[in-house]
Amino acid sequence: MFKKYDPLKDKMLQVMDDDGKVIAPAVKPAIPDDELVDVYKKMQFARTLDLMMVSFQRQGRMYTYPPNVGQEAISAAAGKIMRDRDWLVPAFRELGAWLAKGAKMRDVFLYWGGHEDGARFSDAPNFLPPSVPIASQLVHAAGIGFAINYKKEDSVVFAVVGDGGTSEGDFHEALNFAAVWKAPVIFIVQNNQFAISVPVRMQTVSKNLAVKSVAYGMPGLKVDGNDFFAMYAALSESFEYARKGNGPVLIEALTFRRGAHTTSDDPSLYRTEEEEKKWEAKDPIKRLRGYLVSQKLWKESDDEPLVEQYKKEIEKEFIEYESYPAYKLEDVFKYQFKDLPEDLNRQRIEYEKFLNWKEARK
Ligand SMILES: Cc1ncc(C[n+]2csc(CCOP(=O)(O)OP(=O)(O)O)c2C)c(N)n1
């Protein structure tokens, strides 16, 4: 597959068309029907949760949130392949993969609610906290890969970054050393074509993003990121390659962020409605549903009751989260150092004074 879809030739791996019709049967992964329906339901769940998070934020019940809508196939494929002993090193826009790794909804709410307890994800084995400093997570991923080899473990690291992240030094350092160390890391670039308002053509003049693998001496694949089958095929091949000790792989998953960058962004300022419409037709859930319907595994009318049930579950969890005790002031300072350095201690005292002053004004 790596040879056939050589990124230097700008080839893209695609298995189904926009309607879910299989156009490359030779590379379509063999997944049992019931498991495929399960994947579809998980994608629907992730989307429902994602849309509701935006809605909670709009209601003033949640802090800022980065919508995932349109990018669900990437997380769904990674989520189906990852085992407990594999690592997920996330950026911040791969909610479905968090859930697949075992993250509980409560923790997702706590994380985006700015609560320190939300950074723990104690039910998700081998899951790093989301990384807002762009691409910094990739050096951690390379280091984990090094440790896996050192300890002779059978684990693979799934590390996620955005297209904008490929312009960061950390991206290049991580890829270089992962390759030198033959670290079992799959670097997944979610190329959603924008880094906030900056289009990908302003990030690079490379032919594509997968081609960056060539300089570091690792295989790279450009994949239709809205095509679940293509993502699954690419990631399972990469998984086997990395697991067998061959080293890292770079996957460029071409997709489109249908929502805003975060809830504090307005995409109408930097992209056209036409572009949005074009990508709506390539929606990953619509495409997988097209396939399932054609195989008589699903009916369009099955969607509504499913989503309604998910909405109820999510609302219930969210209400529970809202009664979670507020975090203590010291929690903000507690986790980085064993002994708080003097300057941070001064900040803590100052902040405490500020909070007391604010309280007294009420
Ligand atoms: C090191 C660093 N620089 C800048 C920012 C501000 N910032 C937050 S998200 C973002 C864009 C990221 O774009 P991309 O990597 O394409 O991921 P996407 O948000 O599209 O998923 C920027 C510049 C940051 N968080 N970290």
Pick the atom of ligand 1 nearest to 203's CA.
16
**Distance, CA 133 to ligand 1 centroid (Å)?**
7
The answer to whether 319 and 338 have CB atoms below 8 angstroms apart is: no
275 and 243 inside one domain: yes
Beta partners for residue 22, in sequence order: 16
**Distance, CA 346 to ligand 1 centroid (Å)?**
30
Task: Say yes or no: CB of residue 132 within 6 Å of ligand 1.
Answer: yes
pLDDT of residue 336: 80
**Distance, CA 162 to ligand 1 centroid (Å)?**
8
Nearest residue by C-alpha to atom 25 in ligand 1: 133
pLDDT of residue 168: 98
The answer to whether residue 2 sits within a structural domain is no
The answer to whether residue 238 sits within a structural domain is yes
Pocket perturbation via mutation, ligand 1, pick of 131, 196, 256 by most ligand atoms within 8 A of CB: 196
339 and 211 inside one domain: no
Task: Say yes or no: CB of residue 90 within 6 Å of ligand 1.
Answer: no
255 and 346 inside one domain: no
The answer to whether residue 127 sits within a structural domain is yes
Pick the atom of ligand 1 nearest to 165's CA.
15
306 and 200 inside one domain: yes
320 and 336 inside one domain: no
The answer to whether 221 and 3 have CB atoms below 8 angstroms apart is: no
The answer to whether residue 1 sits within a structural domain is no
The H or E element that residue 16 is part of is none
268 and 362 inside one domain: no
Q: pLDDT tens digits for 71-86? A: 999 999 999 999 999 9
The answer to whether residue 56 sits within a structural domain is yes
The answer to whether residue 247 sits within a structural domain is yes
Residues tagged active-site: 257, 261, 270
* 3-class DSSP assignment, residue 14: coil
pLDDT of residue 69: 97
237 and 109 inside one domain: yes
Q: CA–CA separation, 77 vs 229, rounded Å? A: 8
The answer to whether residue 58 sits within a structural domain is yes
Residue type, 124: A
208 and 340 inside one domain: no
**DSSP letter, residue 60:** T
16 and 143 inside one domain: yes
Pick the atom of ligand 1 nearest to 134's CA.
26
Residue type, 246: N
Q: How many domains does the chain fold into?
A: 2
Burial class (CB in 10 A: 0-12, 13-18, 19+), 62: buried
* 3-class DSSP assignment, residue 213: helix
The answer to whether residue 223 sits within a structural domain is yes
Instruction: Give the DSSP letter string of 164-183.
Output: GGGGSHHHHHHHHHHHHTT-
Residue 341: which domain range? 328-362
**Distance, CA 132 to ligand 1 centroid (Å)?**
7
80 and 97 inside one domain: yes
Q: How far is CA 40 from CA 155, 248, 346, in A?
A: 26, 28, 51
70: left (phi over 0), alpha (psi -120 to 50) or beta: left
Residue 204, domain CATH: 3.40.50.970
148 and 241 inside one domain: yes
Q: CA–CA separation, 117 vs 107, rounded Å? A: 7
**Distance, CA 165 to ligand 1 centroid (Å)?**
7
- List the chain residues with pLDDT less than 50: none
Pocket perturbation via mutation, ligand 1, pick of 65, 93, 134 by most ligand atoms within 8 A of CB: 134
163 and 104 inside one domain: yes
pLDDT of residue 6: 95
The H or E element that residue 187 is part of is strand 185-191
Nearest residue by C-alpha to atom 11 in ligand 1: 195
Q: CA–CA separation, 52 vs 233, rounded Å? A: 30
